[in-house]
Amino acid sequence: MNTLDHTHDPAARSWLAAANAAGCDFPIQNLPFAVLRRRGSGEAFRGAVAIGDQALDLAALANAKLLTGAAAEALALAAQPTLNAFMAAGPEAWRALRHALFALLREGAAQEAAVRSGLLPLAEVEYTLPARVGDYTDFYTSLDHAVNCMRIMRPDADAPANFRWLPQAYHGRVSTLGVSGQRFHRPRGQWLPPGAQEPVFAPCAAMDYECELALWIGPGNAAGQPIALAQAEQHLFGIGLLNDWSARDIQMWEMAPLGPFHAKNFATTVSPWIVTLDALAPYRLPWTRAAGEPQPLPYLDDPAVRGQGAFDIRLEVWLESEAARLQGRAPARLSATSFRHQYWSAAQMIAHHAAGGCGLQPGDLLGSGTISGPGPGEAGALLELAHGGRQPVDIGGGEQRGFLRDGDSIILRGWCDKSGAARIGFGECRGTVLPAVDA
């Protein structure tokens, strides 16, 4: 588990004024990683770190030769067109570079002029996926979400019996992963119209989003070699935002008895910035089980996880309709919750994933599953908020949504904030639904 050090000092300031502004997502205590280039430049993509309203070009920093030793070695890996090699290097390398960057960006740093020359305005960059993703697995780990969804169909329903014993998951599709700004066509698939006896093959009529976190794997494990829960977080490079778009009508028809297929394989959107576990250290919480709930089996239980295995990452979902864009109206906030409510922790997801013999690789992506909380307005999907589309949600301007329409954009935002610690932001994860392609 990560411990606090000088990089978490809430009083620390950067020589870049924008990084010290109230409400900034990217203060000097954060330093998240992405892969980017100047928009429209045709330049090679390269690793970068966010600071204030700028991105520090790590390839330019490496060329400046300001770092030495382990930090310089880590910088060379992080400056590449993907972060896979840096992810594989492990926590010591990640921490060495974090500490070195903190020193270079801190107020009073002697190298300010040399570092400043490597800054790129965030408003002028474009992103690609931060890693070459070999495999993508999406979990289903919010008890509130599971119960809410079941009770849409039957008011007295509960989550499946195995939900309380293992982190459920399915293997997703890497080829349709996209970075924030992704625009995708409404999928076609088989679904059963209400009251019909036979399915149709048609564009999805119940398009939904799922507010999730992206868990990025660092060092992998050999096939057949499990990852002990106590070591699981050493395999977790960092966390971003993830939208697991879902075609609910197709999903309901094809998930009997197997997992989702066409309902999920058309698009998944991730945020460009990955926040490291070191940056999140001030926002750890005990991972708990409510009274009366089953306790985990031994391979999913560990004192360190019990002590601080949860994270208080706050999340919001916003919807911007096409009409709102044309009329200049602000997006409508749909919901807000926190990852602290999740029934299974990030470490437990990793340990369970590898427990059966699966080999994880650097750059593999795990989705946390929809993040919903226990209170009103904490649902992480429109399926819950609009009760299966039967109670449409008001989004302003005389518009309502039971499910998403063509032209709708969903914006996920995440951050951590509390007294005595610096605010740590995740940026945003934005995606837009386009009309289905003509058959």
Model confidence pLDDT, tens digit, residues 370-386: 999 999 899 999 999 99
Given this model, what pLDDT does residue 391 score? 96
Provide the terminal-to-terminal Cα distance of the chain, rounded to the nearest Å.
52
- Owner of token pair 């093959």: 201
Residue 209: band (very low, low, confident or very high) from pLDDT cuts 50, 70, 90? very high
| pLDDT tens string 328-339 | 999 999 999 999
Q: What pLDDT shows up at residue 137? A: 98
| pLDDT tens-digit series, residues 80-93 | 999 999 999 999 99
Average pLDDT over residues 121-132: 98
Identify the band that residue 250 occupies on the pLDDT scale cut at 50, 70 and 90. very high
Contact assessment for residue 299 and residue 317, using Cβ atoms and an 8 Å cutoff = no
For residue 1, the model assigns a pLDDT of: 74
Q: Residue 428: is its pLDDT beyond 90?
A: yes
The token duo for 64 is 């400046």
Average pLDDT, the chain: 97
| Average of per-residue pLDDT across 209-223 | 98
Name the 3-class secondary structure at 248: helix
**pLDDT at residue 124 in the model:** 98
**Residue 400, Cβ neighbours under 10 Å: how many?**
12
3-state secondary structure of 373: coil
pLDDT at 410 over 80: yes
> Does 212 score more than 80 pLDDT?
yes
Q: What is the mean pLDDT of residues 230-245?
A: 98
Contact (CB, 8 A) for 248 and 263: yes
Mean pLDDT, residues 250-276: 95
Rg of the chain over CA atoms, in angstroms?
22
128 pLDDT above the threshold of 80 = yes
If phi > 0 it is left, if psi is from -120 to 50 it is alpha, else beta; for residue 220 that is beta
Say whether pLDDT at 438 is over 90: no
Task: Give the pLDDT confidence score for residue 256 in this predicted structure.
Answer: 87
Work out the pLDDT band at 266, boundaries 50, 70, 90.
very high
Q: Is the pLDDT of residue 414 over 80?
A: yes
pLDDT tens profile 269-293: 999 999 999 999 999 999 999 889 9
Reported confidence tier of residue 129, pLDDT bands at 50, 70, 90: very high
Rounded-to-integer distance, Cα 385 and Cα 378, Å: 8
Q: Is a pLDDT exceeding 90 seen at residue 439?
A: no
Distances in Å between the alpha carbon of 67 and those of 80, 88, 105, 336? 16, 20, 13, 41
Residue 296: pLDDT above 80? yes
- pLDDT for res 338: 98
- When pLDDT is averaged across residues 248-274 and rounded to a whole number, the result is 95
Query: Looking at residues 4-15, what average pLDDT do you find?
Result: 98
Average pLDDT (297-324) is 97
pLDDT confidence of residue 131: 98
Q: What integer is the mean pLDDT of 220-249?
A: 98
Percent of the chain with pLDDT over 90: 95
Cα–Cα distance, 128 to 139 (Å, whole number): 24
pLDDT at 205: 98
Question: Catalytic residues, which ones?
Answer: 145
Distant-in-sequence, close-in-space partners of 110: CB < 8 Å, separation ≥ 6: none
